[in-house]
Structure 1
């Protein structure tokens, strides 16, 4: 029996072997369902079988062995790439993911050879074609996995660089207030000068970091839900924001049950960026208003400020990365690099929530976030 025919006839048995091996990859496989363990195996094998039945010249074979030539098996590439992305998402490392293909190759050849009564010359060609298909699938899967790793790294660096600016601003403002105090001796002034120099240096490194990842942002934030009170997080976020804004005087209104299960670190990022955005873009003659209300299923957070409204044609891209307001684009002083609202949207998505924004000259700008409690 030719190898492609063997694969098709014994597809379930082969995928069972794949599943058994995937189950041994700890600890990532411990939480996976049977369908997740068998992820894309059947699609990869069926695509490989179809490729083996496709005519191939010696020149095409030589080019394929070098990873060159036209793409001949798009379904194989698609299934393999999806598999690489999925294995990264569920926690397999690159060695574990590639070991699945090694086991698949060995399993298919072993089962097929055991079924043969006598070897034929065509069988060797079948093995070559099968190995080519598995190598192609492995290459596509590895490339997709590596891309996911790069995207995760880049979004982490972008958020890290963006969020470091808030505590740096608080340190800078505090040193400025200390300098204004009378009666400081030379030693104290020297210490303050060192702090200011250090914050400037760190600010430069943060700017360099953000520039590095400016065009390399990714998606999909991991979260770890734990019981928490969102009201406490809101009050602490307001306090932290006002440390860098001595004149800020926000109004806070909290009603209902604000307890739920969320990722506290990610929620802090969301609050800091929403509040910081309102303080930055709000009119100085108006206060920033934050309201939080909760029921049995969800909580609703509303952050409102008056000031220059968001342009109607910019509403649709307000949550895109590296998007800044028109005033910032014209060169007016700003601390924004267009990452804050992108981070907010990512945190909301990770919690399966929703966020909307309305903005006009009469009512001001309002961001409304709805987060399910579980």
Structure 2
């Protein structure tokens, strides 16, 4: 009997073995019902049998072995993906989930071989096709499982970031009340200033974390366009940045019409991250230069600093989340989660703009942002 026919005729027997194995996976299986243990096993097997009965050339088989084609089997992929999501939900770890497919493969081959009276060449082809189908199901199930893990992590981070805001606000308000008390000496005022600075940095990190999680969960940054003056936003960002580093005197050049419709809050995020990044990584003996140019349709913002250039191999990932510079990784102090430039990129994308970066030892580092006015 051909393997595909064997699977169809004995599918319940095979699923019984699947259930028996799944029940041995502790502790997750202890609280699972029979239906949950059997899950999508039958659907996966029936879809695999149908896939085995479809024609496949040698070229297609060779391509499939490399993961390059032919087209996947929709019902097989759907069942496998649903299985991966379900196993994550009930508490299987990734190794336990993948072990089910290993056992399924072994069970089917063992039961089929036991039923054979004499081998035929076509049977070897059946085994190849069956292994291909199981490998495809395993890949889809693993991908779905991993996606659920990532989503669970992001939801946890979102809850963490949200819940951190309340205690930070309490600390900030308490320091404001302390400042208003009469009779504090210089040392006490210095301590309060440090607390205020620390809470401000922590607040910025939590805000960046929430924006990162929002994008990871598939939601682009919401923006509300209103008429604003970009030059004013640039001056405000410079003032805020210099408050933390009073020794730096940035050079600001503004020309042309810089009025347009943007989300002021998001633009402030963009500017504070770019200017803060330039101040953090720029050479202390050189100025940070901010150039803003406007025309009828768009504004172009350039933030430039001298200092250690960005490594060539890091340029391509500099806007990726949780990527930090080599100097930070070597232990230099930082208040960044590695999300600043990622947030900048998200703000630019939300405004349908573009951002590029150039960096070398002679010319320094320049971030160039182009934003349409409407």
User: How high is the TM-score relative to the length of structure 1?
Assistant: 0.59
Cα shift at 1:159: 2.2
For residues 41-69 of structure 1, the C-alpha deviation after alignment (integer angstroms, 9 at most, x for no partner) is 00000000111111101111111111122
Aligned to 1:371, the other structure's residue is in SS state strand
Deviations 1:342-363 (A, max 9, x none): 9999999999999999999999
1:281–1:125 CA distance, 2 compared to 1 (3 A): closer
Once the two structures are TM-superposed, the CA of residue 115 in structure 1 deviates from its matched residue by 1.0
State the Cα deviation string for residues 185-228 of structure 1 (Å, max 9, x = none). Answer: 22322221221111012112112212322311279999999999
The answer as to 2:106 corresponding to 1:106 is yes
Change (3 A) 1:218 1:243: farther
SS in 2 for 1:101: helix
Partners of 1:220 and 1:12 in 2: CA distance: 46
Could you say if the C-alpha distance between residues 332 and 27 of structure 1 is closer, same or farther in structure 2, counting changes exceeding 3 Å?
closer
What residue number does 1:267 align with?
267
- CA 1:292/1:45 → structure 2, altered by over 3 Å: closer, same or farther? farther
Q: Which moved more, 1:266-275 or 1:204-213?
A: 266-275
CA distance in 1, matches of 2:28, 2:298: 31
SS of residue in 1 equivalent to 2:293 = strand
* Partner deviation per Cα, 1:138-161 (whole Å, 9 max, x = no partner): 000011111111111112212221
Mapped partners of 2:164, 2:21: distance in 1: 43
| 1:71, distance to aligned residue in structure 2 (A) | 2.4
Asked if structure 1 preserves the Cα contact closer than 8 Å seen for 2:214 and 2:220, the reply is no
Change (3 A) 1:179 1:340: same
Q: CA deviation at 1:278?
A: 38
Question: Which deviates further from its counterpart, 28-37 or 294-303?
Answer: 294-303
Which stretch of structure 1 is more off in the superposition, 204-213 or 24-33?
Answer: 204-213
> What do you get for the CA RMSD once the two structures are aligned?
12.5
Indicate conservation of the 8 Å contact 1:233/1:268, yes or no: yes
CA contact (8 A) 2:205 2:335 kept: no
8 Å CA contact 1:170, 1:243 repeated in 2 = no
Would the alpha carbon gap of residues 173 and 289 (structure 1) be closer, same or farther in structure 2, given more than 3 Å must change?
A: farther
1:133 to partner: Cα distance:
0.2
The structure 1 segments of at least 4 consecutive aligned residues displaced by more than 6 Å after TM superposition are 218-374
User: CA offset at residue 329 of structure 1?
Assistant: 36
Residues 269-278 or 161-170, more deviating: 269-278
Q: Secondary structure at the match of 1:214?
A: helix
Contact 2:208 2:340 in 1 (8 A): no
Structure 1 gaps of 5+ residues are none
Larger radius of gyration: 2
Structure 2 CA distance for partners of 1:67 and 1:359, relative to 1, 3 Å: closer
Using the TM superposition, name which of 130-139 and 310-319 deviates more: 310-319
Higher mean alpha-carbon deviation, 35-44 vs 223-232, is at: 223-232
Q: Distance in 2 between matches of 1:242 and 1:170?
A: 26
Contact 2:249 2:287 in 1 (8 A): yes
Partner of 1:199: 199
Query: CA 1:369–1:126 in 2, change beyond 3 Å: closer, same or farther?
Result: same
Question: In 2 relative to 1, CA 368–195 (structure 1 residues): closer, same or farther, beyond 3 Å?
Answer: closer
1:215 is paired with a residue whose SS is helix
Contact 1:219–1:346 at 8 Å: present in 2 too? no
Distance 1:277 1:190, change over 3 A: closer
Q: Deviations over 1:77-119 (max 9, x none)?
A: 0100000011111111111100000000001001111111111
Instruction: Pick closer, same or farther for the CA change 1:31–1:228 going to 2, 3 Å.
Output: farther
For residues 58 and 362 of structure 1, the distance between their equivalents in structure 2, rounded to whole angstroms, comes to 56
Q: 1:294 to 1:203 in 2, by over 3 A?
A: closer
Counterparts of 1:31 and 1:352, CA distance in 2: 49
> How many residue pairs are counted as aligned between the two chains?
374
SS of the residue 1:260 aligns to: strand
Change (3 A) 1:189 1:339: closer
For 1:126 and 1:260, the matched residues in 2 are separated by 65
Deviates more, 1:200-209 or 1:93-102: 200-209
